[in-house]
Structure 1
C-alpha cells in the first residue's frame, strides 16, 4: 500500500476554481526523469477533480492502477491523495479529514484565498502525514471511519473521463492547460501513445 501524493486546495465557492495551497509527494518509485512530469499531472488532475466535485463531497476516481481520493469540505478547503489500488479508501478519507482539520487550525481561512502558490503557504505538516499514513494501521478505529463515510456520500468513478462534462476529453484539457509545462504535455502525449513508461496518465 502506497500514498504517492497529498494535496491541499482552496475551492472558490463562486467561481468553483481551485488553487493548490500545499502539496507533498513521495515519487521515489518512479523514474527520476519522469518525476517532475508525474507531479505536474497529479497536481493537474487533483485540481480538475476538486473543481468538478461539490462542496461537502468525497469522491474516489480510478485511473489505471492509481486511485485519486478527493474530499471537498463545505468551506471550500479540499484534500486530494493519490494512492495505489491496494490503499484502503476509508483510510484515505480518514487521513484527508485529519490533514484538512490540521491545515485549518494552522492556516486561517481568511488566508486561503490570498495564497497564490505553495511558497506563500507556511503550512509544513504534509510530509509528516505522508510518512505516517504510508502504514494504514495508523488509521482511526473502524467505527469512527464508518461514521464519517455514512455522513458523506462517496461517489465512485471508473475513470477521470467519467468526471468530465459530456464531450470533454482529458487530452483537450491537457492541451489547453496553462499550469502544465510543454515538457509535461509532451510527456503526457508520449505516455498515452506508449502506455508503458508511466501508467499514471
Structure 2
C-alpha cells in the first residue's frame, strides 16, 4: 500500500501536502521521508514519470504542470496500481486547485509558483487518506477494478494519439509503432488483471475449501471407524 505520499512544487521541492502511516513509530519511514524530500528537490530536470528503488521500498512519482505527486510503496506493490493511485491524487488535486483559485482563465502553475509557505494545502491530506484506503490491499476486488479502469484509460489515450497521428498525415511507420505499443501495454495490463483476479478468487474461496476438506476427512475417518 502507499506508505508515504507527497505533493510538491516541481521547481524546488516545496511540499504542499504530505501524508504517511505510523511515521512517528517507524524509524525506517523517517529515513524514507528524508530521502523523499531530497528526491523532490532534484525533479525539475528529471523524467516526468518514474520509479526509484530504495532498499525494500520504491518511490513512484509523476509530474504535471509544475507539480510533483510522489508515493512510497513496498517493492512487492504493483507499479501499475501505484501510478493509478497517483493519477487519482492528481485528478483530485486539480479539483482542489479549482476550489482554491477559481476556474476562469486561471494558470494554476503560476499560482503554485506564488505559494511561499510549505503545507499550503495541508487539508488535502484527508482526500489522500481516503484514496489510500482504496489501494490498501493490491489483491482486493476494488484494486482489481482500479487496474482495469487504468487499462481502459491508457488504451483510450493511446487510440487518441494514433488518431491525431493519422489526422496529421504522419509516417505510417510511426502509426505502426504506436499501435504495437498500445497492444503491448494492453497485454501487460490484461495479464496483471488476470493475476489479481485469480488471487482475489483464491482469497475468497480458500477458507471454504479448507473447511470442506476438514469435513471430508472427518467423514472418512468416521466411516473407517464404523467399518472396523
Would the TM-score normalized by the shorter structure come out above 0.5?
A: yes
* Structure 1 residue runs without a partner (length 5+): 154-201
* Secondary structure in structure 2 of the residue aligned to 1:18: coil
Equivalent residues, number: 142
Greater CA drift, 40-49 or 97-106 = 40-49
| 1:130 aligned onto 2:132 | yes
Q: What displacement does 1:117 show?
A: 4.0
* Secondary structure in structure 1 of the residue aligned to 2:3: strand
Structure 2 CA distance for partners of 1:148 and 1:70, relative to 1, 3 Å? farther
| 1:80 aligned onto 2:73 | no
CA distance in 1, matches of 2:20, 2:113: 23
TM-score, normalising length: structure 1: 0.59
* Secondary structure in structure 1 of the residue aligned to 2:116: coil
Q: Which residue of 2 aligns with 1:62?
A: 53
Q: What displacement does 1:62 show?
A: 0.8
Q: Which is greater in Rg?
A: 2
Q: What is the 5 A alignment of 1:104-183?
A: 104-107=94-97, 108=101, 109=108, 111-121=111-121, 122-124=123-125, 125-136=127-138, 137-138=142-143, 139-141=146-148, 143-144=151-152, 146-147=154-155
* Secondary structure in structure 1 of the residue aligned to 2:80: helix
Q: Which residue of 2 aligns with 1:10?
A: 9
Q: Which residue of 2 aligns with 1:98?
A: 88
CA distance in 2, matches of 1:149, 1:26: 33
TM-score, normalising length: structure 2: 0.52
Q: Which has the higher contact order (CA 8 A, sep 6+)?
A: 1
Structure 2 CA distance for partners of 1:46 and 1:90, relative to 1, 3 Å? same
* Structure 2 residue runs without a partner (length 5+): 102-107, 162-180, 182-228
Q: What displacement does 1:25 show?
A: 0.6
Whether contact under 8 Å (2:60, 2:82) holds in the other structure is yes
Q: Which has the higher helix share?
A: 2
Coordinate RMSD, CA, aligned? 3.0
Whether contact under 8 Å (2:56, 2:75) holds in the other structure is yes
* Secondary structure in structure 1 of the residue aligned to 2:18: strand
CA distance in 1, matches of 2:156, 2:49: 10
